[in-house]
């Protein structure tokens, strides 16, 4: 049995008469402790897919299952890191994380809570900013605070929506290692959205492409059968890494070209051109009508 599963899932937005179909017949079966990446173009429905897995959206059709049971709403076993960070603006970094710990990990004693929270704040290198409010943080700092808030809940399933996209290369690679460590040590199941093919191949077991919307669907996954731990410094010489990167990039370029072709396809137009393109003054016979320029009108 799959651990986490999307079964023939479709979802759209808007009224029935003018529904925008975002995802159609999506099937995905994830094993326990698997690390899966979803890649796709902007607007294709990746965040919508994550919201379905987190229990924040209900499918119009099909089922979303955890251990064979329908996911009926969000819960502490499903830890979602939102693309827009979603930190509470009136609370500091510390308070945002504290709130998550109190609600999702109530068993952590009051005396241990501070150390517990600071451990996650240090992990994302925000030791210098626990008292800062979100508006006082850079985009990358907000992203790190949001990652700490998701990790501190220690959910069974980590749903990470572009978790590292706003970070500089060094911080990004540090946090890639941290996510990999947590995934390996704590035996989590991770679904991560990324637009970085190198990152996906470095980190995951399987890369699932989402086709272009509307009515996007998941296509055949690329299996990443590379031994772990994977060394980022020698990866560029690894034949399997090069092959996967080339295959995935050409697949994505193919999707983009198909979309361009579809957009450029000529639509037959009815032959209804108006007969007379002349100005109304001529058509109506106003012989002395002249264009009034701003200069002539201001003189008058
Ligand atoms: N709540 C909503 N109401 C109406 N339309 C929505 C809603 N959520 C998403 N959409 C639409 O669904 C489509 C997919 O959006 P989604 O955010 O899932 O894309 P995405 O792949 O995550 O994009 P990006 O890479 O830019 O984050 C978009 O056209 C978006 O406008
Ligand atoms: Mg998104």
How would residue 300 be classed by pLDDT, with cut points 50, 70 and 90?
A: very low
At 299 the pLDDT is 44
Sheet of 61-66, strands arranged across: 20-30, 4-13, 61-66, 69-70
Q: What percent of the chain has pLDDT over 70?
A: 91
Determine which helix (DSSP H) or strand (DSSP E) holds 65, and give its type and residue range: strand 61-66
Q: Please work out whether the CB of residue 47 comes within 6 Å of at least one atom of ligand 1.
A: yes
For the whole model, what pTM was predicted? 0.87
φ, ψ (nearest 5 deg) of residue 78: -115, 105
In this structure, are residues 224 and 248 in contact, taking their beta carbons and an 8 Å threshold? Answer: no
Q: Is the CB of 42 under 6 A from ligand 1?
A: yes
Residue ranges of domains in the chain = 4-77+155-264
pLDDT of amino acid 298? 47
Q: What would the pLDDT profile of 46-93 be if each residue is shown by its tens digit?
A: 999 999 999 999 999 999 999 999 999 999 999 999 999 899 999 999
Q: Would you say residue 112 has pLDDT above 60?
A: yes
280 vs 165, residue with greater confidence:
165
Protein residue whose Cα sits closest to atom 4 of ligand 1: 13
Any atom of ligand 1 within 6 Å of the Cβ of 211 = no
Q: pLDDT value at position 266?
A: 67
Q: If pLDDT is split at 50, 70 and 90, which confidence band does 296 have?
A: very low
Specify the pLDDT at position 6.
98
42 alpha carbon – ligand 2 mean position (Å) = 7
51 lines ligand 1 (CB under 6 A): no
Sign of the four-CA dihedral 249, 253, 256, 262 = negative
DSSP 194-259: -S-HHHHHHH-SEEEEBPPSSSB-B-PPEE----SS--TTTGGG-HHHHHHHHHHHHHHHHHHHHH
- Which residues are CB-neighbours of 198 under 8 A, at least 6 positions away? 235, 245
**Higher confidence at residue 5 or residue 292?**
5
> How much distance in Å is there from the Cα of 12 to the middle of ligand 1?
10
Q: Give the per-residue pLDDT at 282.
A: 65
Whether 186 shows a pLDDT value over 90: the answer reads no
For residue 297, is pLDDT > 60? no
Q: Which atom of ligand 1 is nearest to the CA of 216?
A: 14
pLDDT tens sequence across 209-234: 999 989 999 999 999 999 999 999 99
CATH number listed for the domain at residues 4-77+155-264: 3.40.50.300
Measured from the CB, is residue 90 less than 6 Å from ligand 1? no
Alpha carbon of 97 to ligand 2 centroid (Å): 23
Spatial separation of the C-alpha atoms in residues 107 and 154, rounded to whole Å = 13
Q: What percent of the chain has pLDDT over 90?
A: 81
CA neighbor of 19 nearest in space, from 251, 214, 258: 214
């Amino acid at each position: 049995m799959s651990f986490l599963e999307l079964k023939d899932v479709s979802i759209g937005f808007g009224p029935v008469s003018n529904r925008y179909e975002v995802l159609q017949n999506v099937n995905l079966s994830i094993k326990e402790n698997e690390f899966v990446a979803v890649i796709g173009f902007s607007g294709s429905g990746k965040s919508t897919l994550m919201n379905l897995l987190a229990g924040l959206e209900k499918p119009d059709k099909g089922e979303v299952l955890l251990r064979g049971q329908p996911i009926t709403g969000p819960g502490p076993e499903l830890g979602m890191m939102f693309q827009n960070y979603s930190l509470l603006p009136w609370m500091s970094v510390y308070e945002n994380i504290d709130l998550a710990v109190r609600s999702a990990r109530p068993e952590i004693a009051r005396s241990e809570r501070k150390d517990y929270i600071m451990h996650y704040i240090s992990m994302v290198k925000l030791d210098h900013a626990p008292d800062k409010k979100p508006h006082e943080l850079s985009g990358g700092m907000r992203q790190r605070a949001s990652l700490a808030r998701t990790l501190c809940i220690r959910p069974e399933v980590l749903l990470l929506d572009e978790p590292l996209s706003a970070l500089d290369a060094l911080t990004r690679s540090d946090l890639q290692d941290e996510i990999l460590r947590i995934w390996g040590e704590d035996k989590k199941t991770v679904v991560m959205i990324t637009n970085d093919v190198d990152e996906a191949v470095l980190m995951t077991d399987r890369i699932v492409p989402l086709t272009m919307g509307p009515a996007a669907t998941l296509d055949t996954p690329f299996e990443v059968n590379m031994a772990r731990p994977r060394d980022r410094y020698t990866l560029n010489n690894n034949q399997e890494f090069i092959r996967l990167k080339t295959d995935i990039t050409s697949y994505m370029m193919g999707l983009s070209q198909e979309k361009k072709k579809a957009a450029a396809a000529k639509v037959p137009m009815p032959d209804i051109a108006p007969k007379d393109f002349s100005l109304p003054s001529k058509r109506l016979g106003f012989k002395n009508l002249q264009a009034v320029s701003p200069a002539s009108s201001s003189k008058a």
